[in-house]
Amino acid sequence: MFLFDSRAPRLSVDEARARTTGERAEAVLLDVRELPEWRAGHAPDAVHAPLTALITGAPLPASTRSRTLVVVCRSGHRSQQAAKLLVERGADAVDVKGGMDAWAASGYPVVDERGNSGSTA
């Protein structure tokens, strides 16, 4: 279990979306949920890297390296763990408050593994 610095930067879903979408996105949305959750629904431009894999030392996907990482999970707990772990490894990473639940509640798109409308549950 990780201990968290309450002053660690966290982004709202609005800030996360602004930083990770569009042709000139300054950051990558990194979804750290497990594969069944990812398949059920994720942000269209997100990249998948499960927290369990990161904990065991798996490398980040090539498309995310040397980029700012905006880390998301379902509710915000695992993304805090992942962001802390990634920062300790030298990455520029922040997490998203409220996770994909807040993303979907804000009306932002969620797609399943086939690109159809997905869910965060």
Which residues belong to the active site?
73
Task: Write the secondary structure of the chain as one string of H (helix), E (strand) and C (coil).
Answer: CCCCCCCCCEECHHHHHHHHCCCCCCEEEEECCCHHHHHHCECCCCEECCHHHHHCCCCCCHHHCCCEEEEECCCCHHHHHHHHHHHHCCCCEEEECCHHHHHHHCCCCCECCCCCECCCC
Task: List the Cα angle 6/11/17 in 5-degree steps.
Answer: 165
